[in-house]
Amino acid sequence: MITPDRMTRTTCPYCGVGCTLDLHARDDYIYKVTSPFDAVSNHGNLCVKGRFGYDFVYNRARVLTPLIRVKRQQPGSRAQAFNLDEWRSISWDEALDHITNRLTEISRRSGADSLAFYGCAKATNEDNFLLQKMARALFRTNNIDHCTRLCHAGSVVALQKALGSSAMSNTAAEVIENDVFIITGSNTAETHPIIAIQMKAAVRKYGAKLIVVDPRRIEMVKEATMWLALKPGTDVALFSAMAHVILKEKLYNEAFIRARTQNFEAFAESMEKFTPAFAEEVSGVPVDQIVQAARLYARAKNGAIYWTLGISQSSHGTDNALSIIHLALLTGHIGRRGTGLNPLRGQNNVQGTSDAGVMPWHYPGYQPVDSDVSAEKFEKAWRIESGGLSRRRGLTTTEIISAAATGEVRSLYIMGENPMMSEPNLNHTHELMKELEFIVAQDLFINESGAFADVFLPSCSWAEKDGTFTNTDRRVQRVRKAIEPRGKSRPDWSIICDLAQRIEKHRERNGASAYWGYSHSEEILREMGRLVPEYAGVTYARIETTGLQTPVLDENHPGTPVLFTDTFPSGRATFHPLQYIPSAELVDAEYSLILTTGRVLEHWHGGTMTRHGRLDELYPEALVEVHPGDAARLGVKDGQAVHVASRRGTVCLRARVTDKTTPGVVFIPFFSVEASANTLTIDVLDPYARIPEYKICAVRMTAASEEDLPHPHVKAERGRW
């Protein structure tokens, strides 16, 4: 038996909880993962992904040398992605020189905004800060975005509109101080299992009352005092009806509203139409449940709301989030411990990637790109001529792909993202990706988007580099190198520095140039801290043990566990009148079921990491959950092969007949490329946040044959590098 000879403390690369991991290694191989009991976010607990999901690092499909496409007969075909004959191994110098020549040529010919960049919420703050710096300082484009556009963009925009800040207001562990809390649009036990453990303790040990608002009978319903099983897409009607009850019964916090909010009268008037009777008709939740839930939350000493993508991934995701923000503002359940508005972040560093400025409308620290004050600040810091940075808002993730159809975007640089799994209406996305002239993929594996790349750059896993992640609590935590990079892979920030220095030499502009000579990731975080006030006091030395929660305003500042204790960034919080707008696509006789999508415990997001390890054996194929009543009506049996079709495409998979879902609603997880849920989803966007409607579309289900089922896991076809 081999005994590990060293241990490295780092942070989990999966969800936004930010669990502390101890990697036990020997000879550059990780043998096991544990966690210390004094870990601030997880107290020694780990989910199945955190404890066992590290073996993807050693998967034979991992790319360990730069590659260049040698022929392009059918751009973007699956065979092309995994056929060794389609690629040639090259040196780093050859790869980076080729990328430099192609990007600069396209930029000069077609303009700065013909280029676009995808950052990565699984990469470090330092990696992402440099990617957006390269896009802006060298190519002068704000066409840079990442997966927050596809997950919490509705929450971000709503929180900015209402409060002036988009971050989670409290710390997840404070749930044990709640006496009433609401979970909505979040299958917490599977997506944030460690936070779910704390929520269960709040109920079982401390007597908290839990209200679950969800169309599925998720695991947390077992702990709930109330389960409000609403129809997908009716959140605004339901939560506004709760606000209606609070207003009519005068359960609101008048002193808080008077002292800390504005536009209350106009908002209250808009709530008149949201009677519980109206909400019952729309949402299916009975009047008495709506009234009881409103009273329970409003009368709490410490009330809190936790939500994820079930709220934000909607064509009215901004309004969905505003409808729950209003409940906190009405009752004053914000700005104190044990209260708050808590959008649980999905991927491990989606908060930090947003903070680092990988967004088309904002520089790092949410400083607007169309503001002269902001632009001049970054021009000075990056030694750019006055007026050199673009004041034009960039394209969002979904807009970038759409712009390929018109030729507005000609080239795409993808760092760690996989739009061919995460975009809605994937058949259409597939056609748009083929229109791009030049694509760079920087990742561990050639994924479904890497199938389209002209050059592939092998990056390091989280276990092979140093840096920081910022978790859902706004806690900046260390990521430490535990093993040497495999093959010729390199840290993302190092790749970007090398590429940026080459691009600088091709620039036609004169004068001083931005700095790219970083020797360690810590230098990058210090630069970010000089430009982002909330990170000014974050240093590697200060976060050596437990991390610090932003804002950290200087090197003596202790961090900020609870936001908005005295004021809001916008001064007063703003109420917004709301209207109920039905979902973009409703059921009819032909498409009689509502499809909703989400994650499962064993896999993460598009499965890029978990499907390259033994976790895939626990959940090897996607299943469609269907209610027993619907199954009986359709003649579908448990385990039977079925076709699920929308107006955009069809997938084939097995049915799971279960009362976990409700009548009229089916559920497909989105980790599987063989039966990709996003082949079915609709690409209509929220008008404010530009987030797609992933959670609601109309589908039909019909019987299929066993021969129609896809081959189990495409990874069997993938080349060995």
Euclidean distance between CA atoms 321 and 314, whole angstroms: 10
Q: What is the CATH number of the domain that holds 709?
A: 2.40.40.20
For residue 666, what are the contacts with CB-CB under 8 A and spacing of at least 6? 593, 594, 595, 596, 624, 625, 626, 627, 630, 644, 699, 701
What mean pLDDT, rounded, does the chain reach? Answer: 92
Please indicate, yes or no, whether residues 36 and 89 belong to a single structural domain of this protein.
no
586 assigned to some structural domain: no
At residue 83, the pLDDT reads 61
Give 558-594 as a DSSP string.
---SS--SS-BTTBSEE---------SS---SSS-EE
Structural domain count, the chain: 4
Please indicate, yes or no, whether residues 319 and 203 belong to a single structural domain of this protein.
yes
* % of the chain surpassing 70 pLDDT: 95
Give 164-206 as a DSSP string.
S--S-SS-GGGGGG-SEEEEES--HHHHSHHHHHHHHHHHHTT
Residue 107 phi, psi (nearest 5): -65, -45
Does residue 713 surpass a pLDDT of 60? no
Residue 581 token pair: 């707008």
Please indicate, yes or no, whether residues 49 and 89 belong to a single structural domain of this protein.
no
Does residue 412 surpass a pLDDT of 90? yes
| 288-297, 485-494, 511-520, 705-714, range with the lowest pLDDT | 705-714
Q: What is the CATH number of the domain that holds 336?
A: 3.40.228.10
Average pLDDT rounded to a whole number, residues 103-124? 95
353 assigned to some structural domain: no
At residue 148, the pLDDT reads 73
577 assigned to some structural domain: no
85 assigned to some structural domain: yes
Q: Give 137's DSSP letter.
A: I
- Domain end point (choices 316, 346, 376): 346
Give 509's pLDDT tier (boundaries 50, 70, 90).
low
Query: Counting beta carbons within 10 angstroms of the beta carbon of residue 57, is it exposed (0 to 12), middle (13 to 18) or buried (19 or more)?
Result: buried
Give 196's pLDDT tier (boundaries 50, 70, 90).
very high
Contact 241, 578 (CB under 8 A): no
Cα→Cα distances 21→33, 100, 394, 611, Å: 6, 38, 37, 21
At residue 432, the pLDDT reads 87
Please indicate, yes or no, whether residues 77 and 16 belong to a single structural domain of this protein.
no
Contact 25, 8 (CB under 8 A): yes
Give the chain's end-to-end CA distance (angstroms, integer): 29
At residue 429, the pLDDT reads 83
Which helix or strand (DSSP H or E) is residue 470 part of?
A: strand 467-470
Residue 563 token pair: 């936001």
Average pLDDT rounded to a whole number, residues 213-233? 96
Which helix or strand (DSSP H or E) is residue 400 part of?
A: helix 397-403
Euclidean distance between CA atoms 215 and 350, whole angstroms: 26
Q: What is the CATH number of the domain that holds 13?
A: 2.20.25.90
Q: What is the pLDDT of residues 129-183, one digit of tens each?
A: 999 999 999 999 999 998 777 677 888 899 999 999 888 999 999 999 999 999 9
Please indicate, yes or no, whether residues 537 and 685 belong to a single structural domain of this protein.
no
Please indicate, yes or no, whether residues 268 and 379 belong to a single structural domain of this protein.
no
Give the total residue count for the chain.
Answer: 721
Euclidean distance between CA atoms 688 and 585, whole angstroms: 19
Q: What is the CATH number of the domain that holds 462?
A: 3.40.50.740
Q: Which domain holds residue 276?
A: 153-346
Please indicate, yes or no, whether residues 626 and 502 belong to a single structural domain of this protein.
no
Residue 242 token pair: 């709760």
Please indicate, yes or no, whether residues 50 and 73 belong to a single structural domain of this protein.
no
Please indicate, yes or no, whether residues 403 and 535 belong to a single structural domain of this protein.
yes
585 assigned to some structural domain: no
Please indicate, yes or no, whether residues 96 and 182 belong to a single structural domain of this protein.
no
Q: What is the pLDDT of residues 603-622, one digit of tens each?
A: 887 788 999 999 999 989 99
Cis peptide before 692 (omega within 30 of 0): no
At residue 655, the pLDDT reads 96
Give 510's pLDDT tier (boundaries 50, 70, 90).
low
At residue 4, the pLDDT reads 82
What is the bridge-based pairing of β-strands 29-34 and 20-26?
Answer: antiparallel
Contact 162, 688 (CB under 8 A): no
Q: What is the pLDDT of residues 64-87, one digit of tens each?
A: 999 999 865 454 444 444 565 689
At residue 85, the pLDDT reads 67
At residue 690, the pLDDT reads 85
Does residue 257 surpass a pLDDT of 50? yes
Please indicate, yes or no, whether residues 323 and 403 belong to a single structural domain of this protein.
no
With CA atoms as reference, report the closest residue to 410 among 454, 362, 358, 448: 454
569 assigned to some structural domain: no
| 191-205, 331-345, 426-440, 542-556, range with the lowest pLDDT | 426-440
Q: Which residues pair with 597 in a beta bridge?
A: 668
Please indicate, yes or no, whether residues 312 and 175 belong to a single structural domain of this protein.
yes
| 430-434, 581-585, 717-721, range with the lowest pLDDT | 717-721
| 147-151, 298-302, 415-419, range with the lowest pLDDT | 147-151
At residue 671, the pLDDT reads 87
Average pLDDT rounded to a whole number, residues 417-445? 87
What is the bridge-based pairing of β-strands 682-685 and 573-574?
Answer: unpaired
At residue 80, the pLDDT reads 46
Average pLDDT rounded to a whole number, residues 15-30? 94
